[in-house]
Amino acid sequence: MIRTVVCEKDGCSGNEFYIKSEDNKLKLICKECESIYYHDINYYDFIMLSSCSSCNNNVFKVFKDLDNDNIYAKCTKCGAPPEKIFIDSDGVQVTYEAKLLCDIKDLMHKVDQRVCNLELKLDDLERGQELLEESLAYINKYMCE
């Protein structure tokens, strides 16, 4: 279930926030009363920046998926998510495109490995068949005699 994050301060029901990433935490600042909330985002492989990825607005509505604790933010003007910076496997900050490329390379490597394993199995199979044929030839010879 996805819930809209609303400011919990008494008398404030603000649902628009400024966002900021700080030490693996997402900091939400209520636009109305400036109350600050932190969400743990340790497990994300990206950092959300403070501005919209498409219109540079810096106010967001924030949603929380109660099933897995995931946090989403949507620009209040255009609905786009905030700009993101991804962290690759070496801990280096990269753009989404670079991260995608890296993931694809990783995937290709895995596919390569699988093809390699498959070839090895095929070799085994061929060897097995040769053995079988040899045995059959032997049996035939034996039966004819």
The contact pattern for Zn ion, residues 27-66, with x = CB under 5 A and - = no contact, is ---x-xx-x----------------x--x-x---------
87 binds Zn ion (CB under 5 A): no
Separation CA 122–CA 125 (nearest Å): 5
Q: Cα separation of 122 and 110, whole Å?
A: 18
Q: Per rule CB under 5 A, is residue 14 in the interface with Zn ion? A: yes
The residue assigned the tokens 């693996």 is 24
Inter-residue contact 22 to 84 (CB < 8 Å): no
Residue 37 CB, nearest approach to Zn ion (Å):
9
Q: Are 99 and 88 in contact (CB under 8 A)?
A: yes
Query: Where along the sequence are the contacts to Zn ion (CB under 5 A)?
Result: 7, 9, 12, 14, 30, 32-33, 35, 52, 55, 57, 75, 77-78, 80
